[in-house]
Structure 1
Amino acid sequence: MVGVDLQQLRYVVALAETRNFTRAAERCFVVQSSLSHRIAGLERELGVKLFARSSRRVELTSAGAAFLVGARECLAAAERAVADAAAATGVVRGRLAVGVIVTAAAVDVPEVLRRYRARHPDVRVVLRSGRSDDLVAQVRQGELDLAFLGLPEGERPSGVEAVALDHDEHVLVVPAGHRLAGAARVPLAEIAGEPFVDFAAGTPARAQSDQAFAAAGLVRDVAYEAGVVELITRLVARGLGVALLPSAYIRPMAADDPGLALVPVAGGPRRVEYLAWSRFNPSPATRAMLDVLGVRDVPGAGGSRGRPGTAARSSI
């Protein structure tokens, strides 16, 4: 029978992720020789090579890639067991992985994390930013515990529990000297001929505008694509195009930028911000965060699923 301990699993995961013995040892707070010795011993015990090594490179073998999946699952299960045992005594511990879109506005995420830490200082919180569709997939796969998302109106996150946090409409962002700056409201047809700066094609953030123009039977030219709002607004301020961005997010930013003007749009894009989490056995750390956010009736705690309580409406 092969004897494998959790520390060996941690070493394998660290080396697989860093692909460097020195960095893996630093991550695990051990000397490099000890980490190398333990991994070599594990390979002898298993009778397979987990890593291909050269003087410059370290890569997983096919056996190593297969082993890595189970190693991560074992470590997650061990961490969950410790967290569940602590939760039984009223103490929340463990790890909470949170995904956030860059334009989140319905929730003041830093303030929520501050309140969470004040209540549960023993939980290690990991933040990741990304596209809404990628974050939902990571929640479904168990890589994230929960995520703050933004989707076009009429779409909902699939395969996860979700609660709507806010409904918002986009505004037109133009340079301060643009012909439309100061307009009371403009229809989509009025701006369809403008060059646009937008998010990358295929992303939910881009789909919100694409769908609005398609529904109106209009075609527009997206001259520039960018992954972050700051770059989009800088391009707009330089007169390279106009943009449509969620009003709740862009208004505070534009208030401090004299080079930008915001114009309401008739029939423009609309989005819904969601909180999403796994429907499969949420961890104590996840349930604690949902409680901080005021989300009641969490699966695993009795009742129906995913309904915001009074606390959610007042704090979000």
Structure 2
Amino acid sequence: MDLQQMRYVVAVAETASFTRAAERCHVVQSALSHQVAKLEKELGARLFERTSRKVWLTRAGEAFLPSARQALEAAERARAEVAAATGEVRGKLTVGSIPTVAAVDLPAVLRDYRLRHPHVRIALRAGSSERLVEQVREGVVDAAFLGVQPGFRPQGVRDRELAHGQHVAVVAPDHPLAGEEEADLRRLADETFVDFAEGSAARSQSDDAFAAAGVPREVAFEVSGVELMSRMVRHGLGVALLPAPFAAELHGVRCVPIRDGPVRVERLVWSRFAPSPPAAAFLALLDELP
């Protein structure tokens, strides 16, 4: 058993295709298939079931996959540690972020990081705050930017507060509220809302604010991305509640301050274990920000 075989198994599992896995690994399919079959023979169990159209993990494959990923991550970290010992940061950095992060200019931070550490491969994952905490805890993500309610404290990770602010109502330019200097949740009670999925941290901030104010509301459209949300608001399909610093950067909409609106805290989370050299360099860069 070697790391290359593990890399092939992970690629097949993630692409659900031997052809796409071979393309990802830059090898011919026959070579990849041969190595997977050789590993299966050594393990004494099939890792994949195959048809002409579909590939999926067997129970043995599902059991093998997490350990294979851990072995590849350990090898990656070992290379990074050796490079760091010689004064060079190498390896991979995986950063997670909610779509509406506003406490830092993330593209600018990643640009500065790349300039400092050109040999580090950077990956960015977008997701919900809850899922990002899980991924940091699992070691899949090195550090992540969250948007949560004031009382939320993530478990099993290290964290610190980055920013604290309120939401605003985001409306179409021709909406009756567009010219208002301020409003409250009761004024929004009869509006149709575009919001994130029910149960998510992003959604619960607004739900809890309306509940605390004793004001009902109708969420007619649930979306997973801010781009679609903004477009739907722009076309008059509904209104949205978004963090003020982020909403201010949206085009073609109007932002109205809400007196009793939701409050959001942005937090940075990272592993409670010693960070890899690329992750340590990223955290150090963030510490330098004003």
TM-score by length of 2: 0.96
Q: Deviations over 1:288-315 (max 9, x none)?
A: 0001111xxxxxxxxxxxxxxxx23x2x
User: Secondary structure of 1:200's match?
Assistant: coil
Partner of 1:305: none
1:288 aligns with 2:288: no
Q: Distance in 2 between matches of 1:142 and 1:226?
A: 28
Quote the sequence identity (%).
58
1:29 aligns with 2:17: no
Q: Distance in 1 between matches of 2:21 and 2:61?
A: 16
- Shift of the alpha carbon at 1:222? 1.2
Select 2:38's aligned residue among 32, 41, 48.
41
Q: Distance in 1 between matches of 2:258 and 2:190?
A: 15
Select 1:190's aligned residue among 187, 191, 197.
187
1:251 aligns with 2:244: no
- Shift of the alpha carbon at 1:95? 0.9
- Shift of the alpha carbon at 1:91? 1.1
Aligned ranges 1:93-132 → 2 under 5 Å: 93-132=90-129
Partner of 2:142: 145
1:265 aligns with 2:258: yes
Q: Distance in 1 between matches of 2:56 and 2:224?
A: 30
Q: Deviations over 1:234-291 (max 9, x none)?
A: 22222222211111001121xx42xx22211111111011111111121111100001
Structure 1 residues 33 and 116, CA gap change in structure 2 (3 angstroms): same
1:59 aligns with 2:56: yes
1:18 aligns with 2:15: yes
Residue type of the alignment partner of 1:169: Q
Partner of 1:274: 267
Partner of 1:214: 211
Residue type of the alignment partner of 1:52: E
Q: Deviations over 1:54-88 (max 9, x none)?
A: 22222211111111121111111111111111111
Residue type of the alignment partner of 1:8: Q
User: Secondary structure of 2:42's match?
Assistant: helix
Select 2:79's aligned residue among 55, 78, 82.
82
- Shift of the alpha carbon at 1:156? 2.5
Q: Deviations over 1:179-226 (max 9, x none)?
A: 222222212112122221111111111111111111112211112212
Partner of 1:135: 132
More deviation, 114-123/235-244: 235-244
- Shift of the alpha carbon at 1:149? 1.0
Q: Distance in 2 between matches of 1:224 and 1:43?
A: 47
Uncovered stretches (5+) of structure 2, i.e. residues with no partner:
none
Uncovered stretches (5+) of structure 1, i.e. residues with no partner:
295-310
More deviation, 139-148/41-50: 41-50
Residue type of the alignment partner of 2:207: D
Partner of 2:201: 204
User: Secondary structure of 1:42's match?
Assistant: helix
Partner of 1:300: none
User: Secondary structure of 2:53's match?
Assistant: coil
Q: Distance in 2 between matches of 1:64 and 1:189?
A: 54
Q: Distance in 2 between matches of 1:18 and 1:238?
A: 37
Moved runs in structure 1, 4+ residues, more than 6 A?
none
Residue type of the alignment partner of 2:108: E
Q: Distance in 1 between matches of 2:195 and 2:184?
A: 18
1:73 aligns with 2:70: yes
1:157 aligns with 2:154: yes
Residue type of the alignment partner of 1:89: T
Q: Deviations over 1:142-178 (max 9, x none)?
A: 1111111111222222221111111111111122222
Q: Distance in 2 between matches of 1:31 and 1:241?
A: 51
Q: Distance in 2 between matches of 1:28 and 1:233?
A: 38
User: Secondary structure of 1:96's match?
Assistant: strand
User: Secondary structure of 1:181's match?
Assistant: helix
Q: Distance in 2 between matches of 1:235 and 1:57?
A: 37
TM-score by length of 1: 0.88
Q: Distance in 1 between matches of 2:157 and 2:182?
A: 37
* Count of aligned pairs between the two proteins: 290
1:241 aligns with 2:234: no
User: Secondary structure of 2:179's match?
Assistant: coil
